[in-house]
Structure 1
């Protein structure tokens, strides 16, 4: 028993399938994706050469790892379907926003639970996933989990489960905040006179390059910002406008709001 069932064939479920196959963590022979839509199943089976099934129970007995990649509102019904079919030695990885280890263990009747929060760049292998393991998870389960999640991009194992809610806000929701910045930069470039295609290229590559520089330089972001900000120059003028508009504080409020919402989802279990 060394396969993986991914329950949920949406964008993140597809990212798991693509990543695991590319990294050799799973093969077309031992990876099964579950989705309620026959059309979606047909599409995934054709695209990756894997089995895709509608019934979430049929293939559970043949795998060692089950990934739950459904929306919070879909989870209660799914839990009722699969709870009696999980083997004690199987590892369950949940990416359902807000659901705690305790709640997952209670609703699934299962102890070996990993709670993880990947983000959408996982679709191209450039994601980052924060994860937390239940105390019942053995070393082999932890190693298997790390391999699966690393197939999506970088990983960060946290020692306090509450940090997953923070990661949900920071890195889980974070791509949407960055996309908003990119969109605003493109629109501003067009406003100043660039055609949209050129503005898009410049804005997107600027964000990609700035991210790489922040990751690879070893310098604090403030130092990198200061390095490009000449006294009385164009960057200083632009930064002054951003600071006067409260952009820094707005990012703080956005992440705090997303953090609060993540905790609420864990209480009420809706999307």
Structure 2
């Protein structure tokens, strides 16, 4: 059965040949969320492999807006100030951290703005993407937005814009926190005399592979059962939880969210 969405004729992605916009574009086409020829991407050279899949390529961002009913801004936040487009009467989806929906609406004249925060896992279609609506967005468009982001993982609408700022510092970080944990575990193993290659393998197994068990298990129940066992793992967990571990995580999230609220 086709998954084509009839609610919209054309989607435009400004920045659609970058890593984020490009990953979304490829997934939308591969999963049939949009019909062939109903995706427009702006590119300075007007040349990209996606063109061979029926994507309309344009060199001018305003031309993209004029052809599209729904526009995704997949550009870096610092480039937004020079993005001169008029999206009057249209809905704009922003993937930019630190730029408020009101600021986007004011600069683009969009009728509605949806702020979304995917992460680097869009490349493997495992991103979690929270999104927030500013202005009047009908149910059909919301349904489409959910399907757009489900093409690269999971997604959920949040009711407060500030939740986007907090989640920018949480899920928006992508592999950053796991990478930090992996590096710390490997470093401590090496300090104990474990060869670097073995330390890296052990740490990667914990962070990358064993964490997949949590896909079908409740995290708190897992912790409770391991602590109740009173083994080696329990001793390590109790050492972590007895210290400021959770407070440090909270501080890290607040620092990131504070920067997002301030604007990048």
Q: TM-score, normalised by structure 1?
A: 0.82
Displacement of 1:222 in angstroms is 3.3
Contact 2:130 2:156 (C-alpha < 8 Å) held by counterparts: yes
Higher helix share goes to which structure? Answer: 1
Which residue of structure 1 aligns with residue 38 of structure 2?
30
Aligned counterparts of 1:106 and 1:2: Cα–Cα separation in 2: 25
Matched, 1:138 2:146: no
Count of residues in Structure 1 that have an aligned counterpart in Structure 2: 255
Distance 1:96 1:161 in 2: 13
| Partner deviation per Cα, 1:188-223 (whole Å, 9 max, x = no partner) | 445542452x54444334324444333322x3x333
Alpha-carbon RMSD: 2.7
Q: Is the 8 A contact 1:168 1:258 kept in 2?
A: yes
C-alpha spacing 1:190/1:162, structure 2 compared with 1 (3 Å): same
Question: How far off is 1:141 after superposition?
Answer: 1.4
Q: Which residue of 1 aligns with 2:251?
A: 253
Query: 1:193 maps to which residue?
Result: 194
Equivalent residue, structure 1, for 2:24: 16
Residues 61 and 87 in structure 1, CA contact (< 8 A), matched pair in contact too = no
Q: Distance in 2 between matches of 1:138 and 1:230?
A: 49
Shift of the 257–140 alpha-carbon distance from structure 1 to 2, 3 Å rule, reads: same
Q: Indicate how the Cα distance of structure 1 residues 47 and 169 shifts in structure 2: closer, same or farther if over 3 A, else same.
A: farther
**Alpha-carbon distance between aligned partners in 1 of 2:31 and 2:131, rounded to the nearest angstrom:** 19
| Corresponding residue SS for 1:228 | helix
Structure 2: gaps of 5 or more residues: 1-7
Taking structure 2 as the reference length, the TM-score comes to: 0.84
Q: Match of 2:5?
A: none
Q: How does 1:96-111 map to 2 (within 5 A)?
A: 96-111=96-111
Q: 2:177 and 2:204 mapped to 1: Cα distance? A: 14
